[in-house]
Structure formats: C-alpha cells, structure tokens
Structure 1
C-alpha cells in the first residue's frame, strides 16, 4: 500500500452519493437469484463482470434494472445494506446517506415496505455492529412521469419519519429537473431534504433548474457546471455541496481518463466537492478506490484529500453538533 493509499484508508469520511441497488455485487446477484428462484441472463460471475463495459449511462441502467430484479424480500434488502456498510466501514466511512429507487421495485409488484423496511433494518444493524450512522433518501426515476413520482411520495408517507429526503436519478438527458418541480415542492413542504442528479450527462441548464426550480439542498454530480462561469461562481458563493463520483464518470465515459477529471479545478475554484462511489459494484470501486485512483491520476495532496473528507461531513444531513464532532475526527487524524 502506498503512503497516499494508507492515508486515505484511515481518513474518516462520509459517503453522500451511493445507490444501494448499485452495491449489488455479482456474487450477491447469484446468491439472491438462487434463494428467490429468479432466472438471470448470466451463467457465471465472470459473465456478469464482462457485461460491465458501458459506453454511456443508459447502457449501465439496462443492466442495473435487470440486476435489481433478484431483490425480492426484506431479507434481501437487509443483507444488501449490511454488505455495503461492511465495505464502507472498512474504508473509513463513519456516515452514509444512501439512495434507493422504490419505483424500480414497486413497478415489478413489490410493496413499498419490502425495500424500505429491509433497508432500514439493515441500516440499524450496521450502526449497531459497525458504528456507521446513516440516512435514507428516496429517489424518483426521472424517465417516469411526475404523476408516478407523486404516487411514490404518497406510498412513502408511513415511512417518512425515517426517510431524510428525496432525490432524482436515472436517465438524465431528455428529462430535465423542471419535469419534477411540483413533486419536489411538495416534498419540501413535508419537511424533506431535496437532492438531484444534474450535470452528469445533462447540460449546465439542468444544474440551474435543479437550483432554481427544485430548490435542492445538495447537487449530485454537477460536473458540467464547469462549462458555465456564472454557474461556477454561484455554486461557490452558495457553498452548494457537489457529490462527485470519479470512477462512475470514467466508467460511463463522462471523462475519457481520470487525469482529465474536473475535481482539481473544482477545488481551485472553491466548490464544495465530495468524493463518492455511486454504484460501486458496477463501476469498479468503493469510496477509497475513488479517493486513491483520482489522487494518483491528478496529483491531489493530503491537504486536498483532508478537505474532501471535511466537505463530506459538512455537506451531510447530520445535525450541526454531529457534523462538528465528525469534522474534529478528520482534523485530529490529519494532525497525526
């Protein structure tokens, strides 16, 4: 292990952009398929991994939704969550705010509570076993219509005391944030935090819509903000947290090489950037892999890595007191 990798390994951090369905490792896919007697279009773990050669976001989503079909019971979602948190804890993650896509599951006939209750029990077990705290974020699928999002929000009402916010994910191009303006307004009235994927493959205008129309508390991705000078200045002035996912960007051809990734320029321009793993089972690495591989590619310093970790807690939905305690851990580690 290099000195840099060793430093990252012990660095306390939060993960703010993690799709729990995207942590489904090929081995788990086969395990859940066997126990639920679900047919999958692969005959080996190696065949699954070979299929993870994406040229764009839609290529990935096609396999992502097929893989999610093996998740059928509360126990599946519980086990999926616990497996993720064990990997995250090994990477120094102290807190995680995880996305789930209820429409992916309700549209294939599962009651809302199967995924929600399974994930919540897994999160509780992980906190007891590993000391990792977490929050759950409900994401709307943007390739579906806003009425379907409203239906999902209504179905979620019995669980909203245990769900911290709503998000927006899935196919970005052709599905601008403005499509979901009313449902995000309703979520805000219900006291939920609001986040949205924008500016990954979609244009800078999508980022502006997420800010102005959805009134987001945090921006997921946001890479293409760097194409608009006024937008860069606005994001810096507003201290808007961006949950950037380097290995995802590489795997989905958002960047052609990590050495061209915009994070160094984002930091230089004062943007509040964090590093995250997005869908780690599909994109080749959990959160520390994202820190280390990006750092090696673009030459991030220890001070910059420390700042990224501090940003991850500052941008979280923890209380101010919890944030301060976690940031103190980061600062203490950096002094050692």
Structure 2
C-alpha cells in the first residue's frame, strides 16, 4: 500500500497539475473550441448561426443536458473531412499533454456525422491518425470508444456498429451517450451483446440526470465495465455498496455536472462523499470546450470547492490509471511514475 505523505496546501495545485493521470470520459466533439469551429466552417465554406466566436461562446448557458446537446450538434456540423476530425483531436491532445494526461480514451459519436452524409471511415481514420500522432508527439497513449446516441433507436445503433466493423482495429470499445432521461440502458441490450461478442470493451452513461435504476440496468443488462457519470448512485444505498464492493469505476465530470445544473454549486458535488464511501471514482472533463475546463481545471476547481487533499489526489489519479483499458504493462509504468511524483512533492515539503 503506497503511503501518501501530507502535502502542504500551497503545493497541492502544483501536484494536481504535475501528476500523471488518465482521462476516461472525454467526448472529442465536445472539445471543439469556438475558434476551431469558426476556422473549420471557413475552411469548409459553411455559415454558422452565430455572428462570431463571442456570440457562440455566449450560447453556452445551459439549463440541462438537452439544452447543451442542441448547441453541441450545431458545433459538430463543421466536421466534414478526415482532416477536420484529425485537427479537432490534435487540438485536444495538445491540451491533454499540458495537463499531464498519459492515457486518453476518446468517445466519438459517428451517428452525429453519418446522418450528415460524412463517411464512417472519414470519422474513424481522422481520429485514429490523431491518436497515433499523439503517442509520437506527446507520449500520450490514446484509443477510441464508439458511442451510440441513446435518443435514436437500437436498430440505428446496430447498423452503426456493423458499418464501423471494417475499422474494428481502430476502436477498442462502445459506449452510450446523449439524452439520458427516457432512454434507459436496457433499450440497447442487443447491440451491447453484439459488441461484447466482438471482444469490444463496453461502457455507458448512467445516473447523470437519470435515476439510480439506470445504473443497475447498465451493470446487469449491458454488463458494462465502467459507469460514465454515476453521481445519482448516492441516492441508493444498496447500489453504493455494490459499486464499492466491486470497485466498478465511475467516470465523474464535476464541471460538466455544474454546467448542466446537476448540482447548484461545485461545493454541493458528491464526489468527496463517493470517495469516502470507497467507490472507484475518477475525474474527467466530459465536453471541456462547452463546460469551462479541461482535466486539470476539473481537478483544481473540484479540490478547492470540496477541500480535498493529497490522499484524494493520489486515489483519483491511481483510479483513473487502473480503470483505463490500457495494457497492464503501461498501467504499471504510470503507477510507478505517479508514486515518484508524490514522493518528489513530499520531499519538497
């Protein structure tokens, strides 16, 4: 058991920035900054319903998940060519490198693009090429997770998965995102069965706005390996015990939860409670261009709001590494790096 020595409060922000960490809940389309949206629109000869970057950013006042999705899909409309997807992902990876992200598992939504006539290969090949270049340029280990839009039918999801199979070697798993309320996980039981049969990892959004019952369903019907969000589990004691006993990872996104009004203020967030209950919680940025911060922003603001300390920092970073779908060899190396980072900060205090 690695012992975390006390970290002086004034040193904590530097530690949070420096420690190696994994990001397991990042929608790559949600990393599209307004500046890049306008640049891609110009490159592709498209007009936007916003006068300028400031007007677009001003539309980022969301009352719930759906109000965000409306703007999110409008932003994604500028993505037409393989180079667009590549440029978007590389812009994210540059920020991830600055945040000392050693592992990133990128969600992408092919249905958002194929519905506009963009080819599946255009999407996957652009993103995959960026993953390869992120490894070369910044040493970031990265893979793709194909997500189904839950407001669409399961038949559409099945067709999407089958359409993506020629690129099976370029993505490692499937997920479930978009509008949660009214679209329980069991709606997608067959497509998740198919994905597991193909040897793909499976994850799903559950318990963000939806009830704890959606988390149970994601676990028992979809048989997921991670729960994305999961903050509503706090209202179900048997579920909390199960999550703690099984160490099922939860990819929590604090600034997203704040921006989408899941919590009124960041100090109300239950991440600290879930950590204290022994859950395998991780911190992630979700849709950072829209929600006001990338990974380190989420760490820094959450730690300040919840008065978390060095022990929490180590646990969250370790959880993120261990909950990733990277090889055990890579996880071992990153855990060694994490411990060295903490030892270095302890020696300075």
| TM category, shorter | over 0.9
Work out which of the residue numbers 157, 174, 182 in structure 2 matches 1:166: 174
1:135 aligned counterpart, secondary structure: strand
State the 4+ residue runs in structure 1 displaced beyond 3 angstroms: none
1:156 aligned counterpart, secondary structure: helix
Is 1:67 the equivalent of 2:75? yes
TM-score (norm 1): 0.99
Match in the other structure for 2:317: 309
Work out which of the residue numbers 26, 41, 51 in structure 2 matches 1:43: 51
Work out which of the residue numbers 211, 217, 220 in structure 2 matches 1:212: 220
Deviations 1:207-252 (A, max 9, x none): 0000000000111000001100000000011110000000000000
2:227 aligned counterpart, secondary structure: strand
Is 1:280 the equivalent of 2:294? no
Unaligned runs of 5+ in 2: 1-8, 345-349
- CA distance in 2 between counterparts of 1:174 and 1:184 reads 18
Deviations 1:185-206 (A, max 9, x none): 1100000000000000000000
User: Residue 84 of structure 1: CA displacement?
Assistant: 0.2
TM-score (norm 2): 0.95
Is 1:14 the equivalent of 2:22? yes
Deviations 1:252-291 (A, max 9, x none): 0000011011111001000000000000000000000000
Unaligned runs of 5+ in 1: none
Work out which of the residue numbers 320, 330, 348 in structure 2 matches 1:322: 330
Work out which of the residue numbers 90, 95, 102 in structure 1 matches 2:98: 90
User: Residue 161 of structure 1: CA displacement?
Assistant: 1.4
C-alpha RMSD over aligned residues: 0.9
User: Residue 44 of structure 1: CA displacement?
Assistant: 1.0
- CA distance in 1 between counterparts of 2:163 and 2:10 reads 48
- CA distance in 1 between counterparts of 2:274 and 2:210 reads 18
Work out which of the residue numbers 220, 245, 270 in structure 1 matches 2:278: 270
Matched length: 336
Match in the other structure for 2:147: 139
- CA distance in 2 between counterparts of 1:159 and 1:132 reads 21
Is 1:241 the equivalent of 2:249? yes
Higher mean C-alpha displacement, 112-121 vs 4-13: 4-13
